[in-house]
Chains A and B, each alone.
Chain A
């Protein structure tokens, strides 16, 4: 299972303070918290909603669940983002996506592997339509993907991790 880091409220406090505790910076604050934990722990959201003026835990949760970037569950070490924008879609992003999903045996809305190594998600357009279909793994952009190429990339990562 994916290990959940324990929540360090002092760190969350530091983030809030670095944005002067302003409600208008809530999205940026949540982004920083997510950078810290790879997801938004419920305690952190409750804390932010209690601590910051003009917010409530339910409001913070509302913002966190509105934007696709935020995750309420820990993500894997490698986050595979399959672009499914129009250009990627017409050039076959879905077969590539499906090959990853079936390789990791992900189903029923689950998108992180049991060992916490990979998370797979689709995103709507990364703006690299000229290279369709595109896959981004963590920060690395992979252009013109095929099921074969995807297999090679994943094999490499798994091999690397074993070593």
Chain B
């Protein structure tokens, strides 16, 4: 047992009483999504009001808290008033006055700014009644959206650094590893390797210099949970890293963040600075013998740097080309020293496991996958956003309950899970309890947790082409199967969407995919064919329609479709002609228009623009 010079309980009490003085807390989401929707202007407006009106009638004081991402990005700007148990959605600057006057001062809810349930069309006032939130179990994301991400005090108020204090007092690194092992926590970045085991391997090399790295290079298109944690609760991440570093005997750490996340970088820098100033990080943390310094490394735009050995190469200032394993980072990692690399979400789970115990964590989830998992729910679903549910939740619950079903009453077709390394699942998989093993069995993977929902208007071959184009662009170019193999997969898929595919192409796709899977150097290469393999498995008909019938059933592939104007529906409004980028549409006002097929580039601008649904594709 060790004694610390910071009494975390006393600190929590102090912070609580400080927070009491804030009066009515108004939480305005200042995550990337809401900022894009004007959150900063909303905050400014609120602040003007606070100053202008002085003492409120209902409350002594209001305090505006800019928070991290709530996850309900679809509905931004989100304004939450916890004491009044209300969350307003799609708030604009001009709505601020009404919220203040009517609700805060007058006690009358502003109905028109409440969330509308897409199924029942009812307006819902209380968070706990909104399906999007109701079905979630927030652990890693617990504080995101509920605290001021830029304040260490706010983090302390929600148990921040309590777990770190606990392990430092206990002073037994092996006990920390045992707890994590027992909790069953697995890596949330993709591969699902047991976190405790990773730590144990690295801890076996304790003694010399070791490193603790946090992988914040969230490159999977369609995933943004790590961004939300870094932006919304940076101290939890720092605490998780410090606990891991203590466990493995590291005194230096790096957070590798994508350059595309400037806000996350800014907030992390601020959090590190404040934590160091107040001795929650740095030399002799809280008066203990443990010291831990964290640096931030900004990525520069390379998906492959999410692969751990490539990430280390990038930290070392080199091209992010993966290195062969073995040696594994636990033995020979950054600068040739033992290293643990964990993903952001994994580390965000660590403090709460230490605080509430391994049993609490392992009581959630399935047999082989414990705890909760975040998913980024996007695409053609009503409620896009970031969610967290226990492992084993089904796709149906996520897409139809939390997600509120498919947009515009369209039909569900598939969901792409796990990003470019994952696969496409269909109707028949909606009731599979999602965990690492179950998804692997059906040819997909949890990956980082991107869920892109697709409706009947999505062409699955085009989606496979999209992913292959992505992987090909992002291949590091080092090993032959990935560099040359993905190029050829892409070439074949391009042929198919252009209507020039042959039946032998299907065979080549399958053969080449198998060789890439077996032969590529790194995990990214090995999983690159997954989108092709899974779509071939479940949507072979659609491939065949492109190849044999030269048709794109979803009407997406431009080479296989034609836009025509239905003269009976055309009112001659000229909107299509004005939107056509190549001037392929002719016609005079109030007379039916015509598309010149030789000029048409099949971009679909006319189709989107027509107010009378007179443009037909097919």
* Set of chain B residues within 8 Å of A129, measured between Cβ atoms: 73, 221-224, 376, 378, 384, 450
A23-B318 Cα distance, complex, nearest whole Å: 9
A131 close to B317 (CB less than 8 A)? no
A130 close to B33 (CB less than 8 A)? yes
B302 close to A68 (CB less than 8 A)? yes
In whole Å, how far is B297's beta carbon from the nearest beta carbon of chain A? 8
**Which of A8-16, A108-116, A118-126, A155-163 touches B?**
A118-126
* Set of chain B residues within 8 Å of A102, measured between Cβ atoms: 581-582
List 5 A-B pairs, minimum CB-CB distance, nearest first. A130-B73, A85-B221, A68-B301, A67-B300, A141-B36
Which residues, 387 to 420 on B, are CB-close (under 8 Å) to A? Answer: 416, 419
Given contacts A124-B474, A128-B224, A130-B76, are A87 and B319 in contact (CB under 8 A)? no
* Set of chain B residues within 8 Å of A148, measured between Cβ atoms: 579, 609
B101 within 8 A of A: no
Most chain A CB neighbours (cut-off 10 Å) among B74, B261, B378, B601:
B378
A127 close to B260 (CB less than 8 A)? yes
In whole Å, how far is B262's beta carbon from the nearest beta carbon of chain A? 8
* Set of chain B residues within 8 Å of A95, measured between Cβ atoms: 603-605, 608
* Set of chain B residues within 8 Å of A66, measured between Cβ atoms: 302, 319-321, 476
Chain B, residues 461-476, CB within 8 Å of chain A (1/0): the string is 0010011001001101
* Set of chain A residues within 8 Å of B301, measured between Cβ atoms: 67-70, 123
* Set of chain B residues within 8 Å of A36, measured between Cβ atoms: none
Which residues, 559 to 587 on B, are CB-close (under 8 Å) to A? Answer: 579, 581-582
B300 close to A27 (CB less than 8 A)? yes
Given contacts A24-B315, A87-B378, A147-B579, are A141 and B32 in contact (CB under 8 A)? yes
With A67-B320, A142-B36 given, name 4 new contacts (CB 8 A): A86-B378, A125-B222, A139-B262, A143-B36
Q: Which of A24, A67, A99, A132 contacts B302 (CB 8 A)?
A: A67
* Set of chain B residues within 8 Å of A24, measured between Cβ atoms: 315-317
B442 within 8 A of A: no
B275 within 8 A of A: no
* Set of chain A residues within 8 Å of B318, measured between Cβ atoms: 26, 63
A82 within 8 A of B: no
A68-B227 Cα distance, complex, nearest whole Å: 19
In whole Å, how far is A85's beta carbon from the nearest beta carbon of chain B? 3
B454 within 8 A of A: yes
Q: Nearest CB to that of A55 among chain B residues?
A: B317
* Set of chain A residues within 8 Å of B316, measured between Cβ atoms: 23-24
Size bin of chain A's contact surface: 35 or more
B385 within 8 A of A: yes
A31-B298 Cα distance, complex, nearest whole Å: 9
In whole Å, how far is A54's beta carbon from the nearest beta carbon of chain B? 9
A31-B334 Cα distance, complex, nearest whole Å: 22
Given contacts A30-B300, A98-B603, A143-B33, are A131 and B73 in contact (CB under 8 A)? yes
B300 close to A68 (CB less than 8 A)? yes
Which residues, 49 to 77 on A, are CB-close (under 8 Å) to B? Answer: 62-63, 66-70
A28 within 8 A of B: yes
Most chain A CB neighbours (cut-off 10 Å) among B33, B72, B320, B604:
B33
In whole Å, how far is B415's beta carbon from the nearest beta carbon of chain A? 11
Chain A positions near chain B (C-beta within 8 angstroms): 22-28, 30-31, 62-63, 66-70, 84-92, 95, 98-99, 102-103, 123-132, 134, 139, 141-143, 146-148
Q: Nearest CB to that of A101 among chain B residues?
A: B581
* Set of chain A residues within 8 Å of B379, measured between Cβ atoms: 86-87, 90-91, 132
Given contacts A102-B582, A124-B303, A128-B32, are A90 and B605 in contact (CB under 8 A)? no
In whole Å, how far is A150's beta carbon from the nearest beta carbon of chain B? 11
Q: Nearest CB to that of B262 among chain A residues?
A: A139
Q: Nearest CB to that of A132 among chain B residues?
A: B378
Chain B, residues 255-282, CB within 8 Å of chain A (1/0): the string is 0001111100000000000000000000
A126 close to B260 (CB less than 8 A)? yes
B329 within 8 A of A: no
B474 close to A69 (CB less than 8 A)? no
Q: Nearest CB to that of A54 among chain B residues?
A: B317
* Set of chain A residues within 8 Å of B474, measured between Cβ atoms: 124
A156-B231 Cα distance, complex, nearest whole Å: 31
B385 close to A70 (CB less than 8 A)? no
Given contacts A132-B378, A148-B609, are A90 and B463 in contact (CB under 8 A)? yes
In whole Å, how far is B412's beta carbon from the nearest beta carbon of chain A? 13
A84-B463 Cα distance, complex, nearest whole Å: 12
A5-B453 Cα distance, complex, nearest whole Å: 46
* Set of chain A residues within 8 Å of B302, measured between Cβ atoms: 66-68
* Set of chain B residues within 8 Å of A147, measured between Cβ atoms: 579, 605, 608-609
* Set of chain A residues within 8 Å of B261, measured between Cβ atoms: 127
Chain B, residues 133-166, CB within 8 Å of chain A (1/0): the string is 0000000000000000000000000000000000
